[in-house]
Amino acid sequence: MNNKFSENLKKIRKDNNLSQEQLADELGVSRQAISKWESAVAYPEMDKIITLCEKFNLNIDDLLHKDIREVKGEEESKKNINKYIEDFLNFITNTINLFCNMSFKSKCKCLFEQLIIGIILIIICLIVGSVGESLLYSTIDIMPDKIFAILRLIFNFVYILFAITSSVVIMVHIFKTRYLDYYDKIKKDCSNESKEEALLLEDVEKEEKLEKKNKIYFKKNEDKIIIRDPNHSEYKFINGLFKGIVGFIKFFVLCFSIILFASLISLFCLFVVSFLAVKTGLVFIGLLLAIISSAIINIVLILLSLNFVFNRKNDKKKMIWSFIISLVMFGVGIGLVIVGALNFEYIENDKSRLKTDYMEIDMKDNLIFGYHYPEVKYIESNNDNIKIEYTLNKYCEINHSDLSDNVFHMWASCENPIKLIKGVINNFNNKKIVSINNQLQDVKVYTTKENIDKLKKNYKDYTDIEVQHQSTINYYEKEINELQKKVDNYIQKEWEYKEEINDLKNQLSMYENNNE
C-alpha cells in the first residue's frame, strides 16, 4: 500500500470539515489511529476501509491508489454534463406541457411575442453588424486584397455565429422568464391550493363545488391555462401590435362570413329549385342530401367565423360531429347522383326540339350572303329571288340584317329562356340529357344558277378583300412592334449614356478636389 491512502484520507476529512476525533468516532477507532493512518505509520483493517468507502461514496481502488481530488473532479464534470442534458430535456418537456395547457389565444400571443422579439433582435444584429463591418473595413483596408478578403470572411462567420447564439440565448431566457417560470409558479400554487382544499372537503359534491369556485388556471378538457393573467405585466407595445393584427384578421373573417351568408342563401334557393327534378329518383335524393350537407357545413363555418370575431366560445363537439356527418351525407349524396345518372340517356341532336322555316329576299347584283355561314348549300331552282331555308331551335326566333345592306346575314336569338329551361327540366325528369344547339343549321339557298354564281363570286371577292385588309393590318402591327422595340432600345441606351455622363462628372469633380 502506497502513500495515496494517507493523502486521500486527509483530503476526505478536510473536505468534509471533520477533525481527527470526529472521524475516529464515526469509524469507531481512536484519534491516534487516525493520526497514524494519515502519517502512513499504520494502515486500517479492510472493514474500516469498506466503512470509509460506504460513508463517503468512494471506490476502494480510488481510495487506495488514485488522487481523490482528480476522481472527484471527473465525477463533477460528468455530473455537470448530465445536468446540462437533463436541464435541456426538462426545458423541452416543460415547453411542450405549457403549450398543451395554454388557451388558443395565449398560444397566439406567445408565438407573436417571440416573433416580435426575434425581429427586433435581427434588426439589432443587422445594425450592429453593419456598423462593426464598416469600422473593421476602415481599419484593415490598408492590407492586401487577399488578406482583406480572408479577414472579412472570418469576421462575417464569427459575427453570424455570435449573433445567432446570443439571439437564441436571449429569446430562450425571455421565454423562460415570462412563461416557463410563470407556468411553474401556477402549477405549484394550484397543487398547494388543491391539497389544502381537499383536506377540508369530505365528499365528492364538495370537491366539484371547489373546482367551480377555485379560480385556477389549469382546467380539464376544454379550458386551458391563460398566459398571462391581468395580475401580471405585459409588453404594451407587443400587446398593441397583437390586437391590431387580430383585428385585421377578424375583419377578413367577417368579410368571409358575409360570402358564406350569400352562399347559404344560394343553397336554400337551390334546395327549392331541386324539387323541379323530383321525378329523377336517386338523382333527386342525392341532390337533396348534397345540398343539405353543404348548407350544414356552411352554417358551421359561419358560426366559427362569428364566434371568432365576437370572442364567443364554440361548442366543439357539436360542430365537429355536424361537420363529419355533413361530409358523410355529401359523399352519399354525390354517390346517389352518380348511380342515378347512369340511367340517363344522352341525346346529341333532338329533332323534336328543332323547326324548319324559310324566308325570301330580293336578289341584287352586289348582294353578299354566306359570310357567316360558309357551309351554305346552294340549290338551283326557277326562283328569280332568293329563298333561304333554315333549321333552328323551336324556342328561338330568326333575326337578320337590314335588307338595304349589301352584306346580308341572319342569326338565331333565344329571347325567352324560360321556354328553354322548361324544356331542359322536362327532359331531365324523363332522364334525358339533350344538347342545346341555338345556332342555325342546314342553311339552304334556292335560286337560279346565274344568281348562285353571282352570290359565290361576291362572297369570294368580299372574303379576298377581308383577307387583304387583315394581312395589311398584320403587316403594320408587326412594323409598329419592331419600331417600338427600337424605341425601347434607344431609351435604354439614353439612360446608360446619362449614367456614364454622371460617372464622368463625379470623377472630374473628385479629380479637381484632389488637385486643390
Q: What is the pLDDT of residues 402-423, one digit of tens each?
A: 766 678 878 877 766 677 777 7
363 with 369: CB under 8 angstroms?
no
pLDDT band with cut points at 50, 70 and 90 for residue 509: confident
Comparison of pLDDT for 387 and 72, the residue scoring more:
387
Q: How many helices (H) and strands (E) does the chain have?
A: 15, 10
pLDDT band with cut points at 50, 70 and 90 for residue 295: very high
Q: What number is the average pLDDT over the span 269-273?
A: 89
Distance CA 358, CA 383 (A): 14
**Nearest partner of 391 among 371, 405, 377, 406, judged by Cα:** 377
Please list, residue by residue across 274-294, b when 16 or more beta carbons sit within 10 angstroms of its beta carbon and e when fewer do: bebeeebebbbbbbbbbbbbb
pLDDT band with cut points at 50, 70 and 90 for residue 330: very high
Q: What number is the average pLDDT over the span 250-254?
A: 84
* Among the four given CATH numbers 3.30.390.50, 3.40.190.290, 1.10.260.40, 3.40.50.720, the one describing domain 4-66: 1.10.260.40
Q: What is the pLDDT of residues 107-128, one digit of tens each?
A: 777 788 888 888 888 888 888 8
CA distance readout (Å), 298 to 110, 260, 295, 306, 326: 31, 6, 5, 12, 10
Instruction: Report the range of poorest mean pLDDT among 71-75, 369-373, 474-478.
Output: 71-75
Query: For residue 360, what is its C-alpha cell?
Result: 325570301
Q: Please check the confidence at residue 331 and state whether its pLDDT lies above 70.
A: yes
- Reduced to 3 states (helix: H, G, I; strand: E, B; else coil), residue 236 is helix
377 with 352: CB under 8 angstroms?
no
Instruction: Report the range of poorest mean pLDDT among 19-23, 187-191, 277-281.
Output: 187-191
Chain center to CA of 190: 37
Please list, residue by residue across 421-448, b when 16 or more beta carbons sit within 10 angstroms of its beta carbon and e when fewer do: eebbeebbbeeeebeebeebeebebbbb
The secondary structure of 28-97 as a DSSP string is TS-HHHHHHHHTTSS---HHHHHHHHHHHT--HHHHHHS-HHHHHHHHHHHHHHHHHHHHHHHHHHHHHH
pLDDT band with cut points at 50, 70 and 90 for residue 317: confident
**Structural domain boundaries in the chain:** 4-66, 103-213, 241-343, 351-463
Q: What is the pLDDT of residues 334-390, one digit of tens each?
A: 999 888 888 888 777 667 778 888 888 888 888 888 655 557 888 888 888 888 888
Distance CA 419, CA 395 (A): 6
Comparison of pLDDT for 67 and 270, the residue scoring more:
270
Q: Please check the confidence at residue 214 and state whether its pLDDT lies above 50.
A: no
